[in-house]
Structure 1
Amino acid sequence: MPEISVDVHIGRSVTEVYDFLSDARNLELWFSGVDTVAESQGPVGPGVAHAYRFPGRHRDHLIQCVAYVPGEHLVFRGDRMWNPLGAQTPVYSFTLSPRRRGTLLRLTVQCRLVGALALLAPVVSMAWRRDLPRDVRRLGERLGAPHCHVIDAPRRIRLPVPPLTAAPPTPKPGPAWPAVPPAPALAPAVPPSPQVRPEPRPAAVPAAQERATRPAA
């Protein structure tokens, strides 16, 4: 849904600006979103519906003030208009606030698009962004304030989003193995003691020989 706003400072009081805007028949005098408004035999003012013709259309539709706060706010809504690509419903909003030397007026246009017309939203926004500054200047001329100052409406600011840093992968828990007890401390190795070999015994001497060798007493 395209939504375009423009602010303008008009050197007239809030009461004068509100009284002029609240009469839907005055829209055709300055607003590019309204081609003609039929004269009404009934009362005029907030809440009254008027037959009007949207630019480029060959049949009449209704436009009505659907919300208003005296001296502060006005909302006009047109009938839903169909075509082979879908439908559109225009909504025009006026917000007024007093200033020391006049009135600050914010004009907001919303166009509700249905069907394939939603694909043309950028084109519709571009057209309104081009036409609204000229419209509010014509409004100032109609109110006798030709030197109105057009102020760019605040735009929606999108803060930059820092890139997401990849978090380190979380290790998956493995199977719970039983705890292994620590190995017992080993005693220090003792070097083996040297083996003492017994001295070899002399060979046995035969008894006869032993007796022969003995000296005689």
Structure 2
Amino acid sequence: MPTVSTSVIVTRTVEEVFDYLADARNLASWNSGVAAVAADAVAPGERAVYRYHYPGRHREHRLVCSVFQPCRRITYRGRRMWSPLGTQTPEFAFRMLPHSRGAFVQLQVTCQLGGGMLLLGPFLGWAWRRDLPEDARRLREALGDHGIMPPPPMPPPPPPSATTGALLASQARAPAPAGAVPAPPARGLRRAMARVAGQGRIGTGS
């Protein structure tokens, strides 16, 4: 179950940051784990339910506010998503504290995996460790703060398991056929895997 977190200082009050995050429709403008949120007006609060699309998925899913502590914490939990590779349940958590320069905001992503998706856990964790600092920068800009935030150092990729390691090694030895389309950049790893998973039958479960 990969869990990744980062933090950012925003030159806005804690109240302003919380009000912005309490409207889940804003997530799609900066969060790489949320492709779109339905425009329906939903009263913010615990157990508030939104309709959203996870990147790479065509089917709409539910996003539920599971924690709502005004000006302190807010958490959104997606519904479990099924695919031929297994299941995944994303959760996006935010914690806010007053800071001398505005507000300290901690962002945390947890992805609960099941079935064959467990083999991809190290790679999903690595992808989130790479992308979450960029999400924090975009959140800062979305709140009107365009200050420069130096990115943290890139984490090293995790060691592949025996299964995935053998697969990657065999792919590295195989010559590329003439006219082959170059592989997508690593940044699209999570979305590419979601698209592959979405080619099978996708449903939802509790």
Pairwise same-fold verdict (TM > 0.5): yes
Q: How does 1:150-169 map to 2 (within 5 A)?
A: none
Per-residue deviation, 1:151: 7.8
User: 1:12: which partner in 2?
Assistant: 12
* Cα distance in structure 1, aligned partners of 2:46 and 2:23: 7
Q: CA deviation at 1:149?
A: 3.7
Evaluate the alpha carbon distance shift between residue 2 and residue 73 of structure 1 in structure 2; reply closer, same or farther with a 3 A threshold.
Answer: same
Cross-structure match for 2:94: 94
The runs of 5 or more residues in structure 2 that have no matched partner are 153-206
CA distance in 1, matches of 2:140, 2:40: 25
Cα distance in 2, alignment partners of residues 40 and 55 from structure 1: 20
Per-residue deviation at 1:47? 3.0
Higher normalized helix content (fraction of residues): 2
Residue type of the alignment partner of 2:131? D
What is the TM-score when the length of structure 1 is the normalising length? 0.67
Match of 2:112 in 1: 112
| 1:92, distance to aligned residue in structure 2 (A) | 0.7
TM superposition shift of 1:66: 0.7
Shift of 1:70: 0.6
When the two chains are superposed, the root-mean-square deviation of aligned CA atoms in Å is 1.9
State the distance in 2 between where 1:45 and 1:148 align.
32
- Taking the aligned partners of 2:22 and 2:45, their CA distance within structure 1 comes to 5
Give secondary structure in 2 for the equivalent of 1:19: helix
Deviation by residue 1:88-123 (Cα, 9 ceiling, x = unmatched)? 000111010001111111101000000110110011
* Preserved contact between residue 9 and residue 151 of structure 1 (Cα < 8 Å): no
- Alpha-carbon spacing, 1:94–1:106, altered in 2? closer, same or farther (3 Å): same
Q: Which amino acid aligns with 2:88?
A: Q
Query: Structure 1: any 5+ residue segments left out of the alignment?
Result: 153-217
Q: Which residue identity does 2:49 align to in structure 1?
A: A
Q: Pairwise mapping of residues 1-217 of structure 1 onto structure 2 (< 5 A)? A: 1-147=1-147, 149=149
Of structures 1 and 2, the larger Rg is shown by: 1
